[in-house]
Chains A and B, each alone.
Chain A
């Protein structure tokens, strides 16, 4: 059982003053949703969000809904929530393909491009501000 518990974990990295990277590792579902929600709420209090799904093996509608809600909350606050999904085929790629979520989020294939994109937005945002 302990082996299975380890599957759904989250790693939070404060990549810069303005950006936090939350990596979902393993499987995330209804069971891990509330923990994930709390984590995201804390991590994104004043930062842009990059959700790294590279090591994610499963997410269901509960997690997708949480991600969408978080994105809506951040955008309302003038911040960004973007995704990192590796280009190679896998569960998440397939899910995004089937559900069309990719059209809602900005999806990056690598962390470097995602961070660059966020930094650019932050600069723009500052300029705009």
Chain B
């Protein structure tokens, strides 16, 4: 789902942009092809038009000459000409062709008889000379054929002008040929039609059959050879022009009557200028369309990039929130993470998360501190509560983009909320089972419509939070069970030992964390020796608590059997499976000898503080790997003699282990606090350690702390041991140490040891002659007195007197001031007393 969230839109947009680019490319190709086709078509049309003009010009020339010939024929048919009356013919001609005026023919009119003599002539201009009609071949040709004639070239000249000669045979009334009527036409007359032909300023060339230009004022053709190759009617679109330059287009036609060739020659650039202009216009249109399309595509791509960037940011935020929620162990962790996540995603919103309390009777609220609204804390509290309650009660998402909707959608909404929020979004937190666990809402001081993707993000946050809450709820429940289990396993009260202050503390660490497997315990044996243990099972939860219980049971069970801490650890080791691990410290304290023996399996070193010198030392000998790793044979023990007023601080690693610190740094911190508190009693010392060390370490791990403090040498030595003669050596050793600590003189000490030994011998021999029983020795050191009481619970067995027996009681009496022996049903008591120096 996350992948789809993050990538789908971007891929879609990328394809869209590529498709659009392809479409633009296609458009360019198609439009370009069309434009090119049109350009070609326009060129063809221009050529066609040029051809039509050439044809038109040809037909104009034809009709011109046709008209002249018809005029000439009607003159030839007129009576003066038919009657061959030269005088009337002269008058008629002069009328038709007045001198100095504009006659029918540009140059003049003449009648030539069959002999070739010009009999009548009417010429233009008073000063005009006789026309040069030297070439009279046409006269004989017309006489011979009897058909009209038009000269194929400029035939002679009139004045300074070339003229074209037209001839028509004349006949008498009988139809015999009488002569030739000839007229000279100025080619200049054709110029009149040029404008009518709309042929432009240049390019029209009219040539006679010999290639001489007939129409003046035009460019003098240089390339007449070209003209001779032209026949009929047609166009040449790309050829050398008449002026000899290339890149010209020619349209041509051959005139019918005079057989002349009409050529329209124009440079292609001129001819096709319109077509090219149209082509360029179309290209410009296509380019404009492409530019617009590319701009639009670029806009889309840029927008897509920005959207993708936003999506990446959201994806990162989702990822971070997932991590936070994934590691949350408490409901408050979830709400804090959710508020932080919402605040990051919507920095200008007031984000509120409401969680249902464990008892389902209320809501716990948390909100982002961001935003300057509402301005006062009181108003803020009201708004937050209102919004949270609305969101929770609604049961469905509320989306209100504008303030007016708030009033209509949520009647009864508090006016504080109305005043504060212009946009309001809320969604309940519902788990998979459909239970409502709380709600989250976003308030915006200004109008802020959420986009669909933003709403989806909020919904996703709500879903994730609900899932996390399901987990934390289950977790908290298990935690509670484990805490109860551990509490039930931990000793409520440690044994009271005369002359020793012994306290234990357990701190369950962060309430949200799984309960640890930390323990402490202490047992006072009947022989007065105190067994103490502190340990920590690796791991958390019920499993750890169960192993911890087993280890403590082992400790308690074996503490009565064994005096050696190393031996106790070996017994505890038996309960630890290969996949389990525990660190443990076992130690014995003899309050009478003030000796401490300890053995450690992977446990952080206990601290020993000298009561007077406040010197702190670590119990750093007799260390072995943790239980679960250590071989039984590797467990060692070491003994130290405690200085007067010494304090021992044993603890679990939660007290000194801080992430990023070496464990030594934590122990040193503890040592400095303990060293500066040597005068404190155990309870205040424990308080101080929890106040001054634990916060610096900041561990969420649980902590077990045990403090042993020597107060004074006990006034009484009170022990119960089995009536084993072998144990007498130990009893004397311990008692000797105690008596010395109590400050008795050497003689008093030796006498006491002897008397106690004798009394014990008595109990062993008479009280338990067959099998051992309990033997209690109580020695009380009072003001200047020593009172000894040795008890057994056996029946008195008299032994047969012998030389080797019977000296005990006299000895006791010898070294003590009083000595009494009492027997009754409960056993025998030897009571001794002595005054001291």
Partner of A29, one of B725, B804, B814: B725
Complex contact B758–A60 (CB within 8 A): yes
Give B707-752 interface residues, CB cut-off 8 Å to A.
Answer: 725-726, 728-730, 732-733, 746-747, 750-751
Give the docked Cα–Cα distance between A89 and B473 (Å): 77
Give the docked Cα–Cα distance between A94 and B811 (Å): 12
Assess A94 versus B726: contact at CB under 8 Å? Given A27-B732, A99-B811.
Answer: no
Query: A102 on the interface (CB 8 Å rule)?
Result: no
Can you name the residue of chain B whose Cβ is closest to the Cβ of A6? B729
Give the docked Cα–Cα distance between A36 and B823 (Å): 31
Complex contact B815–A98 (CB within 8 A): yes
Contacts of A66 in B (CB 8 A): 804
Assess A31 versus B750: contact at CB under 8 Å? Given A60-B761, A65-B805, A65-B807.
Answer: no
Mask: chain A, 64-105; 1 = CB below 8 Å from B; 0 = not: 111011001000000000000000010100110011000000
How far apart are B349's CB and chain A's nearest CB, in angstroms?
75
Contacts of B811 in A (CB 8 A): 60-61, 64, 98-99
Assess A68 versus B814: contact at CB under 8 Å? Given A4-B729, A4-B730.
Answer: no
Complex contact B815–A69 (CB within 8 A): no
Mask: chain A, 1-36; 1 = CB below 8 Å from B; 0 = not: 100110110000000000000000001011100000
Complex contact A68–B747 (CB within 8 A): no
Assess A31 versus B726: contact at CB under 8 Å? Given A60-B811, A61-B761, A65-B803.
Answer: yes
Contacts of A68 in B (CB 8 A): 803-804
Complex contact A31–B804 (CB within 8 A): no
Give B729-785 interface residues, CB cut-off 8 Å to A.
Answer: 729-730, 732-733, 746-747, 750-751, 753-754, 757-758, 761, 764-765
Assess A94 versus B729: contact at CB under 8 Å? Given A62-B761, A65-B803.
Answer: no
Query: A121 on the interface (CB 8 Å rule)?
Result: no
From A60, A64, A99, name the one whose CB has the most chain B CB atoms within 10 angstroms: A60
Give the docked Cα–Cα distance between A98 and B754 (Å): 11
Complex contact A69–B803 (CB within 8 A): yes
Assess A98 versus B764: contact at CB under 8 Å? Given A7-B729, A61-B758, A69-B804.
Answer: no
Can you name the residue of chain A whose Cβ is closest to the Cβ of B753? A58
From B725, B750, B758, name the one whose CB has the most chain A CB atoms within 10 angstroms: B750
Give B388-440 interface residues, CB cut-off 8 Å to A.
Answer: none
Complex contact B814–A30 (CB within 8 A): no
Contacts of A61 in B (CB 8 A): 758, 761, 807-808, 810-811
Contacts of B751 in A (CB 8 A): 94, 98
Give the docked Cα–Cα distance between A1 and B597 (Å): 13
Give the docked Cα–Cα distance between A29 and B730 (Å): 12
Contacts of A89 in B (CB 8 A): 746
Give the docked Cα–Cα distance between A30 and B258 (Å): 175
Partner of A30, one of B746, B761, B803, B810: B761
Give the docked Cα–Cα distance between A80 and B816 (Å): 33
Give the docked Cα–Cα distance between A68 and B811 (Å): 14
Contacts of A30 in B (CB 8 A): 725, 728, 757, 761, 764-765
Contacts of B765 in A (CB 8 A): 30
Contacts of B758 in A (CB 8 A): 60-61
How far apart are A16's CB and chain B's nearest CB, in angstroms?
28
Complex contact A65–B804 (CB within 8 A): yes
How far apart are A124's CB and chain B's nearest CB, in angstroms?
27
Complex contact B807–A31 (CB within 8 A): no
Task: Report the contact-size class of chain A (Cβ under 8 Å from the partner).
Answer: 20 to 34
Partner of A8, one of B729, B750, B804: B729
Give the docked Cα–Cα distance between A1 and B746 (Å): 25
Contacts of A7 in B (CB 8 A): 729
The secondary structure that dominates the B interface is: helix
Can you name the residue of chain B whose Cβ is closest to the Cβ of A89? B746
Partner of B814, one of A8, A65, A99: A99
Complex contact A98–B729 (CB within 8 A): no
Give A36-55 interface residues, CB cut-off 8 Å to B.
Answer: none
Complex contact A4–B804 (CB within 8 A): no
How far apart are A98's CB and chain B's nearest CB, in angstroms?
5
Give the docked Cα–Cα distance between A5 and B727 (Å): 10
Contacts of B747 in A (CB 8 A): 94
Give the docked Cα–Cα distance between A40 and B761 (Å): 21
Contacts of B805 in A (CB 8 A): 65
Contacts of A60 in B (CB 8 A): 754, 757-758, 761, 808, 811
How far apart are A62's CB and chain B's nearest CB, in angstroms?
6
Complex contact A95–B750 (CB within 8 A): yes
Contacts of A4 in B (CB 8 A): 729-730, 733
Can you name the residue of chain B whose Cβ is closest to the Cβ of A72? B803
Give the docked Cα–Cα distance between A30 and B799 (Å): 15
Mask: chain B, 153-169; 1 = CB below 8 Å from A; 0 = not: 00000000000000000
Give the docked Cα–Cα distance between A98 and B808 (Å): 13
Complex contact A29–B807 (CB within 8 A): no
Give the docked Cα–Cα distance between A27 and B727 (Å): 12
Assess A62 versus B804: contact at CB under 8 Å? Given A94-B751, A95-B750, A98-B751.
Answer: yes
Contacts of B810 in A (CB 8 A): 61
How far apart are A85's CB and chain B's nearest CB, in angstroms?
14
Assess A64 versus B807: contact at CB under 8 Å? Given A98-B751, A99-B814.
Answer: yes
Give the docked Cα–Cα distance between A13 and B647 (Å): 50
Assess A29 versus B728: contact at CB under 8 Å? Given A60-B811, A91-B750, A98-B814.
Answer: yes
Complex contact B726–A95 (CB within 8 A): no
Contacts of B757 in A (CB 8 A): 29-30, 58, 60
Give the docked Cα–Cα distance between A7 and B733 (Å): 11
How far apart are B638's CB and chain A's nearest CB, in angstroms?
14
Contacts of A72 in B (CB 8 A): 803
Give the docked Cα–Cα distance between A94 and B803 (Å): 23
Complex contact B750–A94 (CB within 8 A): yes
Assess A31 versus B728: contact at CB under 8 Å? Given A61-B761, A61-B807, A94-B750.
Answer: yes
Can you name the residue of chain B whose Cβ is closest to the Cβ of A98? B814
How far apart are A38's CB and chain B's nearest CB, in angstroms?
14
Give the docked Cα–Cα distance between A80 and B754 (Å): 28
Give the docked Cα–Cα distance between A65 and B729 (Å): 19
Can you name the residue of chain A whose Cβ is closest to the Cβ of B747? A94
Contacts of A91 in B (CB 8 A): 750
Contacts of B761 in A (CB 8 A): 29-30, 60-62
Give the docked Cα–Cα distance between A80 and B644 (Å): 51
Contacts of A1 in B (CB 8 A): 730
How far apart are A12's CB and chain B's nearest CB, in angstroms?
21
Contacts of B725 in A (CB 8 A): 29-31
Give the docked Cα–Cα distance between A72 and B803 (Å): 10
Can you name the residue of chain A whose Cβ is closest to the Cβ of B563? A1
Contacts of B732 in A (CB 8 A): 27, 58
Can you name the residue of chain A whose Cβ is closest to the Cβ of B724? A31
Can you name the residue of chain A whose Cβ is closest to the Cβ of B749? A91
Give the docked Cα–Cα distance between A69 and B806 (Å): 13
How far apart are A27's CB and chain B's nearest CB, in angstroms?
6
Contacts of B730 in A (CB 8 A): 1, 4
Give the docked Cα–Cα distance between A65 and B809 (Å): 13
Give B790-837 interface residues, CB cut-off 8 Å to A.
Answer: 803-808, 810-811, 814-815
Give the docked Cα–Cα distance between A36 and B299 (Å): 113
Give the docked Cα–Cα distance between A94 and B806 (Å): 20
Assess A95 versus B754: contact at CB under 8 Å? Given A60-B761, A61-B811.
Answer: yes
Residues of A near any B CB (own CB < 8 A): 1, 4-5, 7-8, 27, 29-31, 58, 60-62, 64-66, 68-69, 72, 89, 91, 94-95, 98-99
In the assembled complex, 11 residue pairs joining A and B whose CB atoms fall closer than 8 Å, in A order, are A4-B730, A7-B729, A8-B729, A27-B732, A31-B726, A60-B754, A60-B808, A60-B811, A61-B807, A69-B803, A99-B814
| 17 further A-B pairs in the complex, CB-CB below 8 A; given A60-B754, A60-B758, A69-B804 | A30-B725, A30-B757, A31-B728, A58-B753, A60-B757, A61-B758, A61-B761, A61-B808, A61-B811, A62-B761, A62-B804, A64-B807, A64-B811, A68-B803, A94-B750, A98-B751, A98-B811
Closest 3 CB pairs of A and B: A31-B725, A61-B807, A65-B804
